């Protein structure tokens, strides 16, 4: 286990409505939820995070049915990003443990809309405004 003692998981707070943020669930399946990430990139499409409903620190302890459910939901999100935002492609990634760049100790996938030549791995993320988040959420809520 890498999560600190008495870890106050931000994803568990979101799922239990204890979060003070304006995060809204956009997608939901049997074992997973999808919500808009807090950061965006100027040159590429939105990012949706897919998190397990139940708290699992990382992929190693995830039951197979949750793995399958999370990736099916990620596929649906990728299609929604492609159709609603006309992205040229998508990237799906997931981090495990500190050496794997994990910094939130709750299993989740990132589904990122990509544009040709977006230089995703070179650009700097910025905090999305409330208006940007509302616009993206409204567009993606049509997909479930």
Q: Cβ atoms within 10 A of the Cβ of 124, count?
A: 7
Torsions phi, psi for 116 (to 5 deg): -50, 125
Single out the catalytic residue among 55, 95, 108, 110: 108
The number of residues making up the chain comes to 144
Q: Cβ atoms within 10 A of the Cβ of 44, count?
A: 22
Distance CA 119, CA 100 (A): 21
112: closest CA among 15, 40, 26, 14? Answer: 40
Known catalytic membership, residue 108: yes
Distance CA 41, CA 56 (A): 28
Contact 96, 102 (CB under 8 A): yes
The catalytic residues are 108
């Amino acid at each position: 286990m890498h999560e600190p003692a008495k870890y106050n998981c931000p994803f568990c707070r979101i799922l239990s409505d204890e979060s003070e943020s304006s995060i809204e669930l956009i997608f939901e399946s049997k074992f997973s939820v999808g919500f808009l990430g807090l950061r965006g990139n100027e040159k590429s499409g939105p990012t949706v995070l897919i998190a397990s409903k139940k708290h699992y620190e990382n992929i190693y302890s995830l039951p197979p049915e949750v793995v399958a459910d999370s990736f099916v939901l990620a596929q649906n999100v990728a299609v929604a990003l492609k159709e609603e935002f006309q992205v040229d492609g998508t990237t799906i990634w997931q981090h495990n443990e500190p050496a794997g760049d994990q910094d939130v100790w709750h299993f989740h996938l990132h589904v990122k809309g990509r544009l040709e030549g977006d230089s995703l791995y070179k650009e700097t993320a910025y905090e999305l405004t409330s208006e940007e988040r509302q616009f993206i959420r409204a567009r993606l809520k049509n997909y479930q």
